Amino acid sequence: MKDYPPADELLEAVAAFLDEEVKPLLKGGKRFKSIVAANACRVVAREAAGKTALVEEQRRGLGELLGELLGKDGQPTAAVPGDDSSADELGRELCAAIAEGAYDQGRSREQLLAWLRSDVEARLRINDPAFLERNERRDK
Amino acid sequence: MEMGVAGAASRGSDGSGAELNRSVVERDLEKSQAALQEFIRRQQAGQAAGDDALRVGGLTRLSGGASCEVYGFDLHAGDEPTRAMVLRADRPGKDFSASRADEYAVLREAEQAGVTVPHAHWLGSADDGLGVPFMVMDFVPGLALGQRLLRDDAYASTREALPAQLAGELARLHAAAPGHRLPGATPAGDDPRRFALAAVKQWTAAAATLHTDYPRPALDLAARWLKLNAPSVQEPVLVHGDFRIGNIMFDERGLTAVLDWELAHLGDPAEDLGWLCVRSWRFGRDHPAVGGLCTRDRLLELYREAGGRAVSADQLRYWEIFGNWKWAVICLLQAASARAGSRPDVELAAIGRRVPAVEWELVDLLDREQSQ
C-alpha cells in the first residue's frame, strides 16, 4: 500500500515550483542551479515510476547473459525464476566475469555489448531521455 | 566579465553554491588583497616601478573548479597602465589534480614551446599570506564556454578557425622537449605500452575509491579493453591532459589561450587528440566528432600539417575510448564529492546521472572495435 500522491507526481510538482516560481527570481550560478535541481527532480520522478520494471528487466537480462556464459549446450544454468540474486548481485558477478576475460572475444562479447546497449538505453530513459532523442535524430 | 575555467564553466557555475565551504582567500577578500599586494611587492623588490608604487585592487572571484578557485584583480604600478591579472588558488582539500607548483612549471614550459597560454608570473606557497598555494598570471580576455562557442552566431569565424588552431597548439606542445620535473611519477620500465597502462591504472585506482556496490559493467568492460589494447609510445611527450572545448579560451576571431594545465603529464601525444574527440565536449552538437567542429580525419591531417607527431587512426580511437571512460570516472568522482562539503551540493550530485550517456558512447565505440 502506498500513500497518495505517488512520488513522481509529488516530484513533478516540486520541479514545476523550481522552474516557474524560483528560477525567475535568480541570476547566474543560482539560476543555473535551480535548473539542475528541477532536472534532478524529474530524473528521480522517472526513476520512482520506472525503477521496479528496470530492476526486474536487469535481473532477467543478467540472468540470461550469465546463464548463457556458464551453461553447456547453450542451456542457461542460472534460470531466473529459482534464482533470488538481486540485480546488483548479478551485476557484480558480471563485472567479475568481465575482469577475468570471459567477454574478451567472440559471441559472448557480442552478447554482452547487446545487453549493455539495451540496459544503458533503459537507464537513459530515466536519466537523460533527451540524449536518446538526439541519437535517434542522428541515426536518421 | 565572463571567464570560464575548468569544469565549473561548462556547468555554468559561479561557485556561489559554496558559501559554506569558502576558501581562505574569499573569507576575507580585503585581507587577501593586502596579502597578495605584499607578496607581489616582495617578488618585484628592486625592480623599476619601486615596491611602494605597486598596488593590488579589485580582487573578485571569477569562477572555480573542483580543485582550484580563480580570482581577477588589477595591478597598478606607478604611472604604468593598470594590468588585469588572475589569481589561481588551491581549494582546501585537493583532489587528483597536480599541485599549483607543477602547474606553474608546466605553464612556463608550454609558453616556451610557443603554446598560446597566459603568462604565469609568480608562484606562492601556503606561507605566502593566502593560506593556500597559488599562482599569479596575466588575465586573457575571452570566453571558454562550449555552449556559446558552438551555438552563438558571433563565433562563426571562431568555429572556422579553431580546428587548425587546436591542431597547431598541440603540435607545438608535443614538439617540446619536456625539461623540468613533470608532475606525477613517470612510469618505470621499458615496456613501450607503459604510458597507456599507467594512465589506465591511475584512473582505475581513482574509480576504486568510489562505492563498489554500484556495479558498472560498461565501465569495467572499457577498462579491460583499454588494458588489453594499450598502444606503444616510442617517444613520450608533454601531454596537456585536459585539452578540450571548455578549456580553450576564445574570442570572435579564434583561440586566445589554452587553459587548465592541472592534469599535464608525460605520455602519448594521441592522448590529447583523443580527449578532444570525447562526445561530452560537443555540448550537444554531436557532429562532427571533434568538439562539433571537424572530423577526426581532419584533426589528424591538420595536426600532421602543423608538424605534430605520427599518430594513427587506431591510436586516436584508443584514446577516445580512454577519454570517455576517464570522463565517466571523473563524473562519478565529482558526484561523490557532492557529499564532501558541509552540505550536499545538487549541482555536483547531478553530474553522476550524466554517466549513462557516457556509457552509451563507450558501448557504441567498443562495438565498432574488432574483438580480441
Burial class of residue A99, CB neighbours in 10 A (0-12, 13-18, 19+): middle
Cα distance between residue A47 and residue A33, in whole Å = 21
Residues of B in contact with A40 (CB under 8 A): 346, 349-350, 353
pLDDT in tens, B305-350: 999 999 999 999 999 999 999 999 999 998 998 877 667 889 999 9
Return the pLDDT at A137: 80
Cβ of B218 and A120 within 8 Å?
A: yes
Q: What is the pTM of this model?
A: 0.88
B92 and chain A in contact, CB less than 8 A: no
Of B51, B57, B65, give the one whose Cα is nearest residue B5.
B65
Return the pLDDT at B210: 86
- The residue-averaged pLDDT of B195-222 equals 92
B354 and chain A in contact, CB less than 8 A: yes
Q: Mean pLDDT across chain B, nearest whole number? A: 86
Of B237, B233, B239, B235, give the one whose Cα is nearest residue B264.
B239
Question: Confidence class of residue A77 from pLDDT cuts 50, 70 and 90?
Answer: low
Grouping H, G, I as helix, E, B as strand and the rest as coil, residue B17 is helix
Of A92, A67, A62, A90, give the one whose Cα is nearest residue A78.
A67
Cβ of B360 and A36 within 8 Å?
A: no
Please report where in the chains the cell 529459482 appears, as a residue. A82
pLDDT in tens, B52-107: 778 999 999 887 665 678 899 999 988 888 999 999 998 776 554 567 888 898 99
Q: Does position A70 have pLDDT exceeding 60, yes or no?
A: no
Residues of A in contact with B14 (CB under 8 A): 28-29
Return the pLDDT at B2: 32
- The residue-averaged pLDDT of B9-14 equals 34
Cα distance between residue A21 and residue B177, in whole Å = 57
Q: Does position A1 have pLDDT exceeding 50, yes or no?
A: yes
Q: What DSSP string describes A40-100?
A: HHHHHHHHHHHHHHHHHHHHHHHHHHHHHHH-STT--SS-GGG----HHHHHHHHHHHHHT
- When scoring B2, B10, B359, B369 by the number of chain A Cβ atoms within 10 A, the one with the most, hence best to mutate, is B359
User: Per mean pLDDT, which of A59-73, A105-119, B336-350 is the most reliable?
Assistant: A105-119
Cβ of A32 and B13 within 8 Å?
A: yes
Of B265, B196, B274, B261, give the one whose Cα is nearest residue B237.
B265
Q: Does position A131 have pLDDT exceeding 50, yes or no?
A: yes
Distances (CA, A) of B83 to B25, B46, B76, B109: 21, 19, 7, 23
Residues of B in contact with A121 (CB under 8 A): 360
3-state secondary structure string across A26-43: CCHHHHHHHHHHHHHHHH
Q: Does position A98 have pLDDT exceeding 60, yes or no?
A: yes
Return the pLDDT at A50: 94
Q: Which three cell numbers stand for residue B85?
A: 591579472
Cβ of A116 and B217 within 8 Å?
A: yes
Return the pLDDT at B223: 97
Of B122, B175, B194, B217, give the one whose Cα is nearest residue B308.
B175
Q: Does position A72 have pLDDT exceeding 60, yes or no?
A: no
- The residue-averaged pLDDT of A99-104 equals 94
Cβ of A99 and B224 within 8 Å?
A: yes
Single-letter code of the amino acid located at B11: R
Query: Which strands sit side by side in the sheet containing B134-138, from one edge to the other?
Result: B54-64, B68-77, B83-90, B134-138, B120-124
Cβ of A40 and B350 within 8 Å?
A: yes
Return the pLDDT at B179: 63
Q: Which residue of A has its CA nearest to B365?
A: A113
Residues of A in contact with B17 (CB under 8 A): 29-30, 33
Residue A88 C-alpha from the chain's centroid: 12
Residues of A in contact with B354 (CB under 8 A): 127-128
Return the pLDDT at B213: 78
